[in-house]
Amino acid sequence: MDPSELGPIPPDQMKATRTPGYWRLVGGRILADRVTLVCLALLALIVASAVFADLLAPLDPLKTSMVKRLKPIGTPGFLLGTDELGRDILSRLLFGGRMSLLMGIWPVANALVVGGLLGIVAGFFGGRVNMLIMRTVDVFYAFPSVLLAVAISGALGSGMKNAIVALTIVFVPPLVRIAETVTTQVRSLDFVEAARASGAGSPTIIRVHLLPNVMGPILVYASGLISVSIILASGLSFLGLGVEPPQAEWGLMLNTLRQAIYVQPWVAVLPGLMIFVTSICCNLASDGLRNAMEIKQ
Amino acid sequence: MLTYLIRRVLYAVPIALGVTLLVFTLLHLAPGDPVNAVAGPDAPAEVVEQLRRAYGFDRPLPMQYLLFLWRILGGDLGVSVATGRPVAGELAQAFSNTLVLALGAALVGFVAGVALGGVAGRHKGTAIDHLATVVSLIGVSVPHYWLGMVMVIVLAVEANLLPAMGMGSGGLELLRHAVLPVLTMAVIPTGIVARSVRAAVGETLEREFVQALRAKGLGRGAVLRHVVRNVSPTIVAVLGLQLGYLLGGSILIETVFSWPGTGFLLNEAIFKRDLPVLQGIILMLALFFVLLNLLVDVAQAALDPRMRRA
């Protein structure tokens, strides 16, 4: 039947169908949350400064100078001083952000795909598949995260690629767990049953009915892991297991500047401060996102 | 309780087996022939061949794993490539050193976290509550290896109050050396314990039984006792996990403070490619973590009969 045959829709009914969408609601809540806004703005600034490091950095981050070693903060030409090889700290912090952010986000993104998929499969199919996946995950939970990251990248050897592999393995188990929990909840809802009754196969149900409903909580959880990942990734580089010299990365900079704490303590502190600020902003932004996405009854 | 205990122990067995399998795999993840890793780069060919047979590397992998398992059960973790001494002996000393730091940090974290979180949960919206929120945020956001450096700069280099590295030689010196690493490590558990206790206390105070207790005229102290009893399983669980994380995650702090514990040993083992030591440390710390989780669950069940049904 053509809907127009029913005549014009009364205005009050039209109003009722025009409730703001979920995502507009979430957006509105974020805009009203000052802490989250400030954190998002700071994060945008940090990301932009890393992306445009080429344009912003006053000097070559790799250029060493034996005569200009360990200059204090505020030295003309070296706004934030120089490191133990005479390289400009400001330039290295800008370029270092690239590596640190990349190593913070990449493993979480990898784990989101792998862990999310495994968790959805475990939650959706249940039974033996669930057993197999979840018991394997339990084994990984027997390792404190720092230990697991160090163990894997230690066995594989240093280097950025190995560190990313190690961190991915660290973040897969928690993502499997959250994805499994959420999927198990959604799977038992009526609309999934209805889809199955109407003849939809498992792949269709997962793609059309499950994914849109489970992605939110999984993404929020993953966003909370980014700060952990940045701290852990820089920690690996700090130990000499991640990014290799002479590349600039915040954790690695901390490592090499450690010998300089008796000469220029406040210069040596700067890379860690960057990690700290980035990590706090990620945590607060993730909290804000979770609050904004919460479905209040 | 007994059935719960048996069930929980049985659950830990496959996990522990999984841990050994994972650690066994680690050795084979390492690039190159595992024998070379065990023998070292300069070993003559016949020694390599001898070791290959001694370690059973010439046998199929499943057999190798069973052999590995058998040796672990006998307490044999192999021999360090760097020092030639048994791994188990080297580990014991390092582990006791790490335990000093981890227990110290757990104690500080427990006292500070429970005090802060307890008061914050009782008085929501006050200055103390905001302080607890900030401390929790710092606990989960701070790169503690950097915090360690800042502590060294402020308290050791600038103020010259405390030693910056090493362990000292027992007694008061040990205590002085332990202050900075313990305080640094304590930041994470303080924040996390404070957050959990704050949430648990706040939640418990809103439950009906607390109103009932107050309504029947119980004094503050008596109500508090009921609240503590209800919150204690949460605290035990959080603290147990944190102790495990402190023990397993001590590598960064021990590197900053040159503290001769398991983390320091692990760091050395990685860069000397001393794989038996690497394997031994990870195996021991992970198995200890499994045991700790078991103890936490049992303690929780002892404190809260409802948990026994789970």
Number of structural domains found in chain A: 1
CATH number at residue A275: 1.10.3720.10
- Give the DSSP letter string of B62-127: HHHHHHHHHHHHTT---B-TTT-SBHHHHHHHHHHHHHHHHHHHHHHHHHHHHHHHHHHHHSTTSH
Asked if ipTM goes beyond 0.85, one says: yes
CB interface of B with A, residues 154-183, below 8 Å = 157-158
φ, ψ at A82 (rounded to 5°): -130, 160
**How many residues does this entry show for chain B?**
310
If pLDDT is split at 50, 70 and 90, which confidence band does B282 have? very high
Instruction: Give pLDDT, residue B275.
Output: 83
% chain B with pLDDT above 90: 42
Cβ-defined contact of A155 to B255 (cutoff 8 Å): no
Instruction: Give pLDDT, residue B259.
Output: 92
Tell me the average pLDDT across A257-277.
89
Residue A143, pLDDT above cutoff 80: yes
One-letter amino acid identity for B283?
L
The answer to whether the beta carbons of residues B121 and B205 sit under 8 Å apart is yes
Q: Which of B201, B126, B121, B137 is nearest to A287 (CA)?
A: B137
Angle between helices B144-151 and B171-205 (to 10 degrees): 130
> Is residue B114 a part of any domain in this protein?
yes
Instruction: Give pLDDT, residue A245.
Output: 86
Tell me the average pLDDT across B41-50.
76
Distance in angstroms (rounded) separating the CA atoms of residues A143 and B286? 5
Distance in angstroms (rounded) separating the CA atoms of residues B90 and B264? 12
Distance in angstroms (rounded) separating the CA atoms of residues A154 and A278? 26
Identify all chain A residues contacting B251, using CB atoms and an 8 Å cutoff: 146-147, 150, 239
One-letter amino acid identity for A129?
V
Surface-to-core class of residue B73, CB atoms within 10 Å of its CB (0-12 exposed, 13-18 middle, 19+ buried): exposed
> Is residue B7 a part of any domain in this protein?
no
Any alpha helices (H) in chain A, and if so which ranges? 11-17, 22-32, 34-51, 53-56, 89-125, 127-140, 145-156, 160-187, 190-197, 202-204, 211-239, 250-257, 265-293
Cβ-defined contact of A272 to B146 (cutoff 8 Å): yes
Tell me the average pLDDT across B21-33.
80
What ranges make up the beta strands (E) of B50-198?
A: none
Q: Looking at the partner chain, which of B27, B141, B153 has a beta carbon nearest the beta carbon of A265?
A: B153
Residue B187, pLDDT above cutoff 50: yes
Secondary structure (3-state) at B162? coil
* A78 DSSP β-pair partners: A75
> Is residue B183 a part of any domain in this protein?
yes
Tell me the average pLDDT across A226-242.
93
Number of structural domains found in chain B: 1
* A88 DSSP β-pair partners: A82
If pLDDT is split at 50, 70 and 90, which confidence band does B25 have? confident
User: Is the backbone of residue B87 left (phi > 0), alpha (psi -120 to 50) or beta?
Assistant: alpha
Residue A8, pLDDT above cutoff 60: yes
* A75 DSSP β-pair partners: A78
Instruction: Give pLDDT, residue A260.
Output: 83
Q: Which residue has the tokens 């994972």?
A: B22
Q: For the ranges A131-140, B31-40, B80-89, B202-211, which has the lowest average pLDDT?
A: B31-40
Residue B223, pLDDT above cutoff 70: yes
Q: For the ranges A145-149, B42-46, B62-66, B208-212, which has the lowest average pLDDT?
A: B42-46
Tell me the average pLDDT across B93-121.
93
Q: Which residue has the tokens 């802490």?
A: A35
Tell me the average pLDDT across B50-57.
73
Q: Which of B242, B244, B111, B99 is nearest to B181 (CA)?
A: B99
Range of the domain at A8: 3-293
The answer to whether the beta carbons of residues A30 and A289 sit under 8 Å apart is yes
CB interface of A with B, residues 106-135, below 8 Å = 135
φ, ψ at B86 (rounded to 5°): -60, 140
Instruction: Give pLDDT, residue A1.
Output: 47
Interface A:B, Cβ pairs < 8 A:
136
Task: Establish if A154 touches chain B: CB-CB under 8 angstroms.
Answer: yes
Q: Which residue has the tokens 């023998």?
A: B39
Cα A86 from chain centroid?
33
Count of CB atoms situated within 10 Å of the CB of B146: 28
**Token pair in block for residue A132:** 């197999």
Predicted TM-score (pTM) of this structure: 0.88
Q: Which of A222, A134, A110, A135 is nearest to A184 (CA)?
A: A134
Distance in angstroms (rounded) separating the CA atoms of residues A233 and A97? 12
The predicted-structure confidence for A10-30, as pLDDT tens digits, reads as follows: 655 555 555 678 888 888 888
φ, ψ at A2 (rounded to 5°): -75, 125
> Is residue B94 a part of any domain in this protein?
yes
Cβ-defined contact of B285 to A157 (cutoff 8 Å): no
> Is residue B22 a part of any domain in this protein?
no
Instruction: Tell me what the pLDDT averaged over chain B comes to.
Output: 87
Distance in angstroms (rounded) separating the CA atoms of residues B173 and B170? 6
If pLDDT is split at 50, 70 and 90, which confidence band does B171 have? confident
When comparing pLDDT for B298 and A3, which is higher? B298
> Is residue B77 a part of any domain in this protein?
no
Residue A224, pLDDT above cutoff 80: yes
**Token pair in block for residue A296:** 């209040």
Q: Which of A143, A140, A170 is nearest to A235 (CA)?
A: A170
Sign for the CA dihedral angle at B251, B255, B257, B258 comes to positive
Distance in angstroms (rounded) separating the CA atoms of residues A107 and A230? 10
Residue A166, pLDDT above cutoff 90: yes
The answer to whether the beta carbons of residues B255 and B264 sit under 8 Å apart is yes
Cβ-defined contact of A146 to B282 (cutoff 8 Å): no
> Is residue B230 a part of any domain in this protein?
yes
Tell me the average pLDDT across A225-243.
93
Tell me the average pLDDT across B256-284.
90
Residue A150, pLDDT above cutoff 60: yes
CATH number at residue B282: 1.10.3720.10
φ, ψ at A288 (rounded to 5°): -60, -40
Distance in angstroms (rounded) separating the CA atoms of residues B276 and B82? 10
Whole-angstrom Cα Rg for chain A: 24
Longest dimension (CA), chain A: 87
Residue A252, pLDDT above cutoff 70: yes
Tell me the average pLDDT across B102-119.
94
One-letter amino acid identity for A41?
A
CA angle B219, B223, B229 (to 5 degrees): 150
Distance in angstroms (rounded) separating the CA atoms of residues B282 and B160? 36
Tell me the nearest-neighbour CA distance from A152 into chain B, angstroms: 7
Range of the domain at B259: 87-309
Identify all chain B residues contacting A271, using CB atoms and an 8 Å cutoff: 146
Count of CB atoms situated within 10 Å of the CB of A272: 25
Tell me the average pLDDT across A287-297.
81
Cβ-defined contact of B15 to A265 (cutoff 8 Å): no
> Is residue B96 a part of any domain in this protein?
yes
The predicted-structure confidence for A36-85, as pLDDT tens digits, reads as follows: 999 999 999 999 999 998 888 888 888 877 777 778 887 787 778 888 88
Identify all chain B residues contacting A138, using CB atoms and an 8 Å cutoff: 15, 18
Cβ-defined contact of B14 to A239 (cutoff 8 Å): no
Cβ-defined contact of A150 to B275 (cutoff 8 Å): no
Identify all chain A residues contacting B134, using CB atoms and an 8 Å cutoff: none
Secondary structure (3-state) at A231? helix
Beta-carbon contacts of A44 under 8 Å, excluding residues fewer than 6 positions away, are none
Residue B37, pLDDT above cutoff 80: no
The answer to whether the beta carbons of residues A243 and A104 sit under 8 Å apart is no
Secondary structure (3-state) at B157? helix
The answer to whether the beta carbons of residues A126 and A141 sit under 8 Å apart is no
Secondary structure (3-state) at A78? strand
